[in-house]
Amino acid sequence: MKYIPTIGIECHVQLCTKTKLFSEVDNDARGKEPNSCVSPVDYALPGMLPRLNGEAIRLAILAGRAMNCKINASSRFDRKHYFYPDSPKGFQITQFYHPIIGEGYVDLPSGNRVRIEHAHLEGDAGKLTHFDTYSLVDLNRVDTPLIEIVSMPDIHSAKDAHDYCKALWRLMCFAGVTNGDLYNGNMRFDVNVSIAPEGSDKLGTRAEVKNLNSFRSVERAVEYEIKRQSKLLDAGEKVVQETRGWSDATGETTGQRSKEEAKDYRYMPEPDIPPINLTQEFIDAESAKLPLMPKDYREKFAGIIADDTLEVLLDYPSLMGKLGEVDTRYVKNLSNLFASVLLAEEKSAEYLNDLPTAMELSELCEMNDKKELSSTATKEVFLRLFDPQMKGRGAKNIAKELGLIQENDLGALEAIVDTVLAKPETKKAQEDYRNGEMKVIGFLVGQVMKESHGKANPSAVQEILKKKLA
Amino acid sequence: MEIKREDILHLANLSNFSLSEAEIEKLGGDLQDIIKYISQLDELNTDSVEPTYQVFEMENVWRDDEILVQDANREELLALTKEEKDNQIKVPKVL
């Protein structure tokens, strides 16, 4: 039988605030010792009270606006109770009843629109590492601010599930609310999948695949679930509503033995955090700080950057930001350098963290425009702009140091051409050219380039040669 | 509303408490009394009353996003736990 899948996705985004959501502790625990970014509040010691980080509210407004969401003027925090060693408080502080971000939508490349049901602020849990007979708890991640984005079940294919997650990643990165480091779990996806026979007006029983941390694993897990559930239904069996785990290695989901019946979170209003009441002026002022989004860049660079190049570059928000800074006439050249030279470099990831200034990049493009640098030399200088040894010296100085500046002075070029034409080893080529063998001009240009130590502008040399041999 | 033995066991399970028979008995009675006391409110018509989330009239209590040195360091905090290992809190196996 043919089935139609229906998919809803919950996405947790780690906010890049300096401190945690409820304590004045370093929020960036990457590469730090376990339990080194903690406070008595994170340990939930008796009498410790949460202190709400205002920056998380500002970032939530930006995140909401990036998804075309309504920002709720009034929102609150609630306690979600559960007992687990990753949470010393015995509850998570979240926004269950009154989230800060209301309804919105995200558009996909397929043209489909995924509605956002709501999104809310909450604190993350600690990290557990399991061993044979015990587990270890690291509280560095306790109360890292998260935004949980809840989509409506508007997705109907594995490809759209992938594209939705990628679109969210881009939106959150361009909005500047997260570091977007998927490898370090900055964004995690929980995917609800159900299938129903084509034409049915009822949804099937859903399974939830939790904790996916890449777009590819979202796509594969959805594909797997559709196949698994179709097989069950075809065999006359039932899909069990449950939480499943995904393994990248096996490419399969498996049921997690969890006490589902124990899900009784006993939500209650968090009494230690007064409500958030935002004025429209505040919401508007914060919303206005939203940087350019992917759709803005598509509009801005339409006809300047080729569509396929632009889609590649949109995966690198810092590069797009840089392109937005330079003069429009250099954007095309620069986008090609970014796409074909930088991203092809093995080290591109580390280069991306520390880009050259817009001025350096403009200077380079200007030299190329004025034919002071050949396209090959432009590529070379471009890469040197990222080189830790050469950084900050400027395109012109680097080009000079490397002896890459082209000779465009016609008088000087003519003298070099004359020298070459006077050499006995070029006589035969000159004769051949005059006899109609046009190809040999390449050889002659090569000789001039050699004589000029590669600094001559080849097209200018060719023109001079043609005139002299006519 | 009657608090049954299963309710007490369910709540104890959610909070990971192990209770003795005597405690189950006593807590059941206490909880029953508390609910009876609170139930007096059922006599009032609260249809037009806004829910009270907070008894103080405070709102928007935020702080700046600046790292502060904490009063207690890692070692002091870890020393409060029952058992530690490799700078982490050691707990019975949970998975």
Domain count, chain B: 1
Task: Give yes or no for a contact between A10 and A149, defined as CB atoms under 8 angstroms apart.
Answer: yes
Is residue A121 within 8 angstroms of chain B, CB to CB?
A: no
Contact criterion met (CB < 8 Å) for A83 and B15 = yes
Contact criterion met (CB < 8 Å) for A35 and B77 = yes
B29-47 per-position pLDDT tens digit: 999 999 999 999 899 998 8
A349-405 per-position pLDDT tens digit: 778 878 899 999 999 999 888 888 888 889 888 988 888 888 778 888 888 888 788
A187-219 per-position pLDDT tens digit: 999 999 999 999 888 999 999 999 999 999 999
Domain boundaries, chain A: 3-277, 292-401, 410-469
**Radius of gyration of the CA atoms of chain B, in A:** 22
Which of B15, B86, B95 has the CB atom closest to A136's CB atom? B86
pLDDT value of position A262: 54
The residue whose two tokens read 């370093």 is A26
pLDDT value of position A178: 97
Look at A353 and A79; give whichever has higher pLDDT: A79
pLDDT value of position A261: 52
Please determine, for residue A411, whether its predicted confidence score (pLDDT) is greater than 80: no
Of B75, B60, B66, B62, whose CA–CA distance to A24 is shortest?
A: B66
- Residue B59: list chain A partners with CB under 8 A: 274-277
3-state secondary structure chain A: CCEEEEEEEEEEEECCCCECCCCCCECCCCCCCCCCCCCCCCCCCCCCCCCEEHHHHHHHHHHHHHCCCCECCEECCEEEECCCCCCCCCEEEECCCCCCECCEEEECCCCCEEEEEEEEEEECCCEEEECCCEEEEECCCCCCEEEEEEECCCECCHHHHHHHHHHHHHHHHHHCCCCCCCCCCCEEEEEEEEEEECCCCCCCCCEEEEEECCHHHHHHHHHHHHHHHHHHHHCCCCCCCEEEEEECCCCEEEECCCCHHHCCCCCEECCCCCCEECCHHHHHHHHCCCCCCHHHHHHHCCCCCCHHHHHHHCCCHHHHHHHHHCCHHHHHHHHHHHHHHHCCCCCHHHHHCCCCCHHHHHHHHHHHHCCCCCHHHHHHHHHHCCCCCCCCCCHHHHHHHCCCCCECCHHHHHHHHHHHHCCHHHHHHHHHHHCCCHHHHHHHHHHHHHHCCCCECHHHHHHHHHHHHC
Which residues neighbour A121 within 8 Å (Cβ) at sequence distance 6 or greater?
A: A21, A56, A57, A60, A75, A77, A94, A95, A99, A100, A145, A146, A147
pLDDT value of position A434: 87
CA distance A80 to A60: 20
The verdict on pTM exceeding 0.90 is no
Which residues neighbour B49 within 8 Å (Cβ) at sequence distance 6 or greater?
A: none
Look at A275 and A463; give whichever has higher pLDDT: A275
A136-193 per-position pLDDT tens digit: 999 999 999 999 999 999 999 999 999 999 999 999 999 999 999 999 899 999 999 9
Average pLDDT score over residue span A68-95? 95
- Residue B82: list chain A partners with CB under 8 A: none
Is residue B17 within 8 angstroms of chain A, CB to CB?
A: no
CA distance A194 to A99: 26
pLDDT value of position A52: 98
A236-245 per-position pLDDT tens digit: 999 999 999 9
CB pairs under 8 A between A and B: 126
- Residue A82: list chain B partners with CB under 8 A: 14
Average pLDDT score over residue span A98-117? 97
- Residue B61: list chain A partners with CB under 8 A: 51-52, 273-274
Contact criterion met (CB < 8 Å) for B93 and A129 = no
Please determine, for residue A428, whether its predicted confidence score (pLDDT) is greater than 90: no
CA distance A395 to A246: 48
pLDDT value of position A258: 58
Please determine, for residue A263, whether its predicted confidence score (pLDDT) is greater than 80: no
pLDDT value of position A468: 85
Binned at pLDDT 50, 70 and 90, residue A259 comes out as low
Which of B53, B74, B88 has the CB atom closest to A136's CB atom? B88
Is residue A371 within 8 angstroms of chain B, CB to CB?
A: no
Contact criterion met (CB < 8 Å) for B91 and A55 = no
- Residue B67: list chain A partners with CB under 8 A: 18-19, 24-26
Contact criterion met (CB < 8 Å) for A26 and B67 = yes
3-state secondary structure chain B: CCCCHHHHHHHHHHCCCCCCHHHHHHHHHHHHHHHHHHHHHHHCCCCCCCCCCCCCCCCCCEECCCCCCCCCCHHHHHHCCCCEECCEEEEECCC
Pick the CATH number of A410-469 from 1.10.10.410, 3.40.50.970, 1.10.10.10, 3.40.190.10: 1.10.10.410
Please determine, for residue A257, whether its predicted confidence score (pLDDT) is greater than 80: no
Q: On the CB side of A92, how many CA atoms lie within 13 Å of its CA?
A: 23
Look at A260 and B82; give whichever has higher pLDDT: B82
Of A50, A41, A53, A43, whose CA–CA distance to A16 is shortest?
A: A53
CB count, 10 Å around CB of A261? Answer: 8
B62 is a domain residue: no
- Residue A52: list chain B partners with CB under 8 A: 61-63
Q: What's B12's domain CATH number?
A: 1.10.20.60
Chain B residue with minimal CA distance to A37? B74
Average pLDDT score over residue span A422-449? 87
Contact criterion met (CB < 8 Å) for B65 and A83 = no
Count how many residues are written for chain B.
95
Q: On the CB side of A451, how many CA atoms lie within 13 Å of its CA?
A: 22
The residues that bridge with A276 in the sheet, in sequence order, are: A75
- CB neighbour class for A23 (10 Å; exposed up to 12, middle 13-18, buried from 19): buried
Interface of B with A in 30-49 (CB under 8 A): none
pLDDT value of position A438: 84
Look at A341 and B34; give whichever has higher pLDDT: B34
A32-59 per-position pLDDT tens digit: 999 999 999 999 999 999 999 999 999 9
B90 is a domain residue: no
Q: What is the pLDDT along chain B (95 residues), one digit of tens a residue?
A: 788 899 999 889 888 889 999 999 999 999 999 999 999 989 999 889 888 877 888 999 999 999 999 889 999 999 999 999 999 999 998 76
- Residue B80: list chain A partners with CB under 8 A: 43, 45
Shortest Cα distance, chain B CAs vs residue A13, angstroms: 18
Range of the domain at B26: 1-43
Q: Tell me the ipTM for this assembly.
A: 0.89
pLDDT value of position A288: 97
As a whole number, the mean pLDDT across chain A is 91
Strands A52-53 and B62-63: parallel
Query: Please, what sign has the CA dihedral across residues A191, A197, A198, A204?
Result: negative
Count how many residues are written for chain A.
470
Shortest Cα distance, chain B CAs vs residue A32, angstroms: 12
Task: Give yes or no for a contact between A461 and A378, defined as CB atoms under 8 angstroms apart.
Answer: no
Is residue A79 within 8 angstroms of chain B, CB to CB?
A: no
- Residue B63: list chain A partners with CB under 8 A: 24, 51-54
CA distance A51 to A339: 44
pLDDT value of position B56: 81
Average pLDDT score over residue span A5-18? 98
